Amino acid sequence: MCNQVKSVTLQTAVLIQVKEFAQNNQKFSIHDITRTIREKTSKDELEIPEVEVVVGDHGAPTPPHRFEISHAKVKSLFDELWRTGVFDPEFILDRSFTGMYFEYTPKLVGNVLAAPCPVNVPAMVVTPNYPWGPAPLAPVTPMASADIARVKLYLTNCANKSFRPTLKKIQSAIKRDGVPCCSCGELKSYITALGYTIVDDPDAISKSQVATV
Protein backbone atom coordinates (compact mmCIF):
# COMPACT_ATOMS: atom_id res chain seq x y z
CA MET A 1 0.00 0.00 0.00
CA CYS A 2 1.27 3.48 -0.90
CA ASN A 3 1.63 5.17 2.49
CA GLN A 4 4.97 6.94 2.37
CA VAL A 5 5.12 10.72 2.73
CA LYS A 6 6.24 12.96 -0.14
CA SER A 7 8.55 15.77 0.98
CA VAL A 8 8.65 18.60 -1.56
CA THR A 9 8.85 22.37 -1.96
CA LEU A 10 5.61 24.35 -2.11
CA GLN A 11 6.30 25.14 -5.75
CA THR A 12 6.60 21.44 -6.57
CA ALA A 13 3.45 20.72 -4.54
CA VAL A 14 1.54 23.23 -6.71
CA LEU A 15 2.90 21.63 -9.89
CA ILE A 16 2.01 18.13 -8.64
CA GLN A 17 -1.53 19.21 -7.80
CA VAL A 18 -2.15 20.89 -11.16
CA LYS A 19 -0.90 17.75 -12.90
CA GLU A 20 -3.24 15.65 -10.78
CA PHE A 21 -6.21 17.81 -11.80
CA ALA A 22 -5.12 17.50 -15.44
CA GLN A 23 -4.88 13.71 -15.18
CA ASN A 24 -8.48 13.63 -13.93
CA ASN A 25 -9.72 16.16 -16.51
CA GLN A 26 -10.93 18.20 -13.55
CA LYS A 27 -11.73 21.91 -13.64
CA PHE A 28 -10.13 23.76 -10.78
CA SER A 29 -9.48 27.15 -9.24
CA ILE A 30 -6.41 28.28 -7.35
CA HIS A 31 -8.50 27.94 -4.19
CA ASP A 32 -8.90 24.24 -5.08
CA ILE A 33 -5.12 23.91 -5.34
CA THR A 34 -4.63 25.52 -1.94
CA ARG A 35 -7.41 23.49 -0.30
CA THR A 36 -6.16 20.17 -1.67
CA ILE A 37 -2.55 20.80 -0.65
CA ARG A 38 -3.75 21.72 2.84
CA GLU A 39 -5.79 18.52 3.02
CA LYS A 40 -2.83 16.41 1.94
CA THR A 41 -0.53 17.94 4.54
CA SER A 42 -3.15 17.54 7.27
CA LYS A 43 -3.51 13.85 6.35
CA ASP A 44 0.29 13.38 6.36
CA GLU A 45 0.26 12.60 2.63
CA LEU A 46 2.58 15.50 1.90
CA GLU A 47 5.36 17.36 3.71
CA ILE A 48 6.47 20.87 2.78
CA PRO A 49 9.45 21.71 5.04
CA GLU A 50 9.76 25.34 3.89
CA VAL A 51 6.33 26.23 5.34
CA GLU A 52 6.47 24.05 8.44
CA VAL A 53 5.35 25.92 11.56
CA VAL A 54 8.00 26.09 14.27
CA VAL A 55 6.48 25.62 17.72
CA GLY A 56 7.84 28.13 20.24
CA ASP A 57 9.38 27.30 23.62
CA HIS A 58 8.05 28.02 27.11
CA GLY A 59 4.72 26.32 26.70
CA ALA A 60 3.63 28.12 23.54
CA PRO A 61 0.37 26.66 22.17
CA THR A 62 0.65 24.04 19.45
CA PRO A 63 -0.52 25.47 16.10
CA PRO A 64 -3.65 23.89 14.57
CA HIS A 65 -1.74 22.88 11.43
CA ARG A 66 1.83 21.66 11.07
CA PHE A 67 2.25 23.41 7.70
CA GLU A 68 1.10 26.93 6.94
CA ILE A 69 -0.10 26.91 3.33
CA SER A 70 -0.64 30.54 2.31
CA HIS A 71 -3.22 30.95 -0.46
CA ALA A 72 -1.47 34.13 -1.60
CA LYS A 73 1.81 32.21 -1.94
CA VAL A 74 0.11 29.35 -3.81
CA LYS A 75 -1.47 31.88 -6.19
CA SER A 76 1.89 33.58 -6.76
CA LEU A 77 3.62 30.26 -7.50
CA PHE A 78 0.82 29.10 -9.82
CA ASP A 79 0.83 32.39 -11.74
CA GLU A 80 4.60 32.15 -12.16
CA LEU A 81 4.46 28.55 -13.41
CA TRP A 82 1.64 29.40 -15.82
CA ARG A 83 3.18 32.66 -17.08
CA THR A 84 6.55 31.07 -17.83
CA GLY A 85 5.10 28.06 -19.66
CA VAL A 86 6.05 25.27 -17.26
CA PHE A 87 2.71 23.52 -17.93
CA ASP A 88 2.88 23.84 -21.72
CA PRO A 89 4.73 20.61 -22.64
CA GLU A 90 1.98 18.46 -21.10
CA PHE A 91 -1.28 20.40 -21.03
CA ILE A 92 -3.01 23.64 -21.93
CA LEU A 93 -5.06 25.52 -19.35
CA ASP A 94 -8.16 27.33 -20.58
CA ARG A 95 -9.22 30.06 -18.17
CA SER A 96 -12.71 31.47 -17.61
CA PHE A 97 -14.02 33.96 -15.03
CA THR A 98 -16.95 32.76 -12.92
CA GLY A 99 -17.82 36.23 -11.68
CA MET A 100 -15.89 35.68 -8.46
CA TYR A 101 -12.69 33.86 -9.45
CA PHE A 102 -10.89 32.25 -12.40
CA GLU A 103 -11.54 28.59 -13.20
CA TYR A 104 -9.08 26.52 -15.24
CA THR A 105 -9.88 23.63 -17.59
CA PRO A 106 -6.85 21.44 -18.42
CA LYS A 107 -6.42 19.88 -21.88
CA LEU A 108 -3.71 17.24 -22.09
CA VAL A 109 -1.06 17.64 -24.76
CA GLY A 110 1.37 14.85 -23.78
CA ASN A 111 1.23 11.85 -21.50
CA VAL A 112 1.11 12.74 -17.81
CA LEU A 113 2.15 9.61 -15.96
CA ALA A 114 0.40 8.50 -12.80
CA ALA A 115 2.57 8.71 -9.72
CA PRO A 116 3.88 5.51 -8.16
CA CYS A 117 4.60 5.20 -4.45
CA PRO A 118 7.03 7.92 -3.43
CA VAL A 119 10.14 7.34 -1.43
CA ASN A 120 10.49 8.45 2.17
CA VAL A 121 13.35 10.91 2.62
CA PRO A 122 14.66 13.42 5.17
CA ALA A 123 12.52 16.57 5.27
CA MET A 124 15.42 19.00 5.01
CA VAL A 125 16.39 17.84 1.51
CA VAL A 126 14.38 19.62 -1.22
CA THR A 127 15.84 18.34 -4.48
CA PRO A 128 13.33 15.96 -6.19
CA ASN A 129 14.30 12.48 -7.27
CA TYR A 130 12.40 10.07 -9.56
CA PRO A 131 9.52 10.72 -9.50
CA TRP A 132 8.42 12.43 -6.28
CA GLY A 133 10.74 12.22 -3.31
CA PRO A 134 13.62 14.62 -2.69
CA ALA A 135 17.21 13.44 -2.83
CA PRO A 136 20.65 15.03 -2.57
CA LEU A 137 22.27 16.50 -5.67
CA ALA A 138 24.17 14.02 -7.78
CA PRO A 139 27.93 13.74 -7.18
CA VAL A 140 29.63 16.25 -9.44
CA THR A 141 32.49 15.27 -11.69
CA PRO A 142 34.73 17.98 -13.14
CA MET A 143 33.27 19.68 -16.22
CA ALA A 144 35.61 21.00 -18.88
CA SER A 145 35.91 24.80 -18.95
CA ALA A 146 34.78 24.75 -22.60
CA ASP A 147 31.58 22.95 -21.59
CA ILE A 148 30.93 25.40 -18.77
CA ALA A 149 31.36 28.26 -21.24
CA ARG A 150 28.86 26.59 -23.59
CA VAL A 151 26.33 26.27 -20.75
CA LYS A 152 26.73 29.95 -19.83
CA LEU A 153 26.34 31.06 -23.45
CA TYR A 154 23.29 28.85 -24.00
CA LEU A 155 21.57 30.16 -20.87
CA THR A 156 22.36 33.76 -21.85
CA ASN A 157 20.77 33.17 -25.25
CA CYS A 158 17.72 31.59 -23.59
CA ALA A 159 17.38 34.62 -21.30
CA ASN A 160 17.52 36.96 -24.29
CA LYS A 161 14.68 34.98 -25.90
CA SER A 162 12.66 34.75 -22.64
CA PHE A 163 12.88 30.96 -22.90
CA ARG A 164 13.14 28.57 -19.95
CA PRO A 165 15.01 25.42 -21.10
CA THR A 166 14.79 22.03 -19.42
CA LEU A 167 17.94 20.34 -18.18
CA LYS A 168 17.49 17.81 -21.00
CA LYS A 169 17.46 20.60 -23.62
CA ILE A 170 20.61 22.10 -22.16
CA GLN A 171 22.28 18.69 -22.04
CA SER A 172 21.42 18.15 -25.73
CA ALA A 173 22.51 21.65 -26.72
CA ILE A 174 26.04 21.27 -25.34
CA LYS A 175 26.72 17.76 -26.62
CA ARG A 176 30.01 17.24 -28.37
CA ASP A 177 30.14 14.57 -31.07
CA GLY A 178 26.73 13.40 -29.87
CA VAL A 179 28.02 12.60 -26.37
CA PRO A 180 26.61 14.41 -23.29
CA CYS A 181 29.28 16.06 -21.14
CA CYS A 182 27.49 15.12 -17.91
CA SER A 183 24.25 13.84 -16.39
CA CYS A 184 21.24 16.07 -15.75
CA GLY A 185 21.92 15.82 -12.02
CA GLU A 186 25.50 17.04 -12.46
CA LEU A 187 24.31 19.74 -14.87
CA LYS A 188 21.82 20.93 -12.27
CA SER A 189 24.62 21.30 -9.72
CA TYR A 190 26.71 23.44 -12.08
CA ILE A 191 23.77 25.63 -13.13
CA THR A 192 22.68 26.15 -9.52
CA ALA A 193 26.24 27.22 -8.72
CA LEU A 194 25.97 29.81 -11.49
CA GLY A 195 23.13 31.41 -9.53
CA TYR A 196 20.13 30.24 -11.57
CA THR A 197 16.92 28.99 -9.98
CA ILE A 198 15.69 25.60 -11.17
CA VAL A 199 11.99 24.71 -11.21
CA ASP A 200 11.94 21.05 -10.21
CA ASP A 201 9.65 18.68 -12.08
CA PRO A 202 8.09 15.88 -10.00
CA ASP A 203 8.26 13.35 -12.83
CA ALA A 204 11.91 13.49 -13.86
CA ILE A 205 14.96 15.65 -13.21
CA SER A 206 15.52 15.99 -16.97
CA LYS A 207 12.22 17.93 -17.22
CA SER A 208 13.27 20.48 -14.58
CA GLN A 209 13.43 23.98 -16.02
CA VAL A 210 16.03 26.69 -15.54
CA ALA A 211 14.46 30.05 -14.64
CA THR A 212 16.25 32.29 -17.12
CA VAL A 213 13.34 34.77 -17.08
Domain extent listing, the chain: 6-108, 145-211
Taking residues 101-113, what's their average pLDDT? 74
Instruction: Give the per-residue pLDDT at 61.
Output: 52
Residue 191 near residue 197 (C-beta atoms within 8 A): no
Q: Record the pTM.
A: 0.55
Model confidence band, residue 87 (pLDDT cutoffs 50, 70, 90): confident
What is the rounded CA–CA span in Å between residue 111 and residue 115?
12
Taking residues 68-78, what's their average pLDDT? 91
Q: Look up residue 78 and give its DSSP letter.
A: H
Which of 6-10, 34-38, 82-86, 140-144 is modeled with the greatest confidence? 34-38
Torsion angle in degrees (nearest 10) through CA of 53, 54, 57, 62: 20
Percent of the chain with pLDDT over 70: 76
Residue 118 near residue 132 (C-beta atoms within 8 A): yes
What is the rounded CA–CA span in Å between residue 213 and residue 197?
10
More confident: 180 or 106: 106
Taking residues 33-39, what's their average pLDDT? 94
CATH classification for the domain delimited by 6-108, as one of 1.10.10, 1.20.1070, 1.20.1050, 1.10.3470: 1.10.10
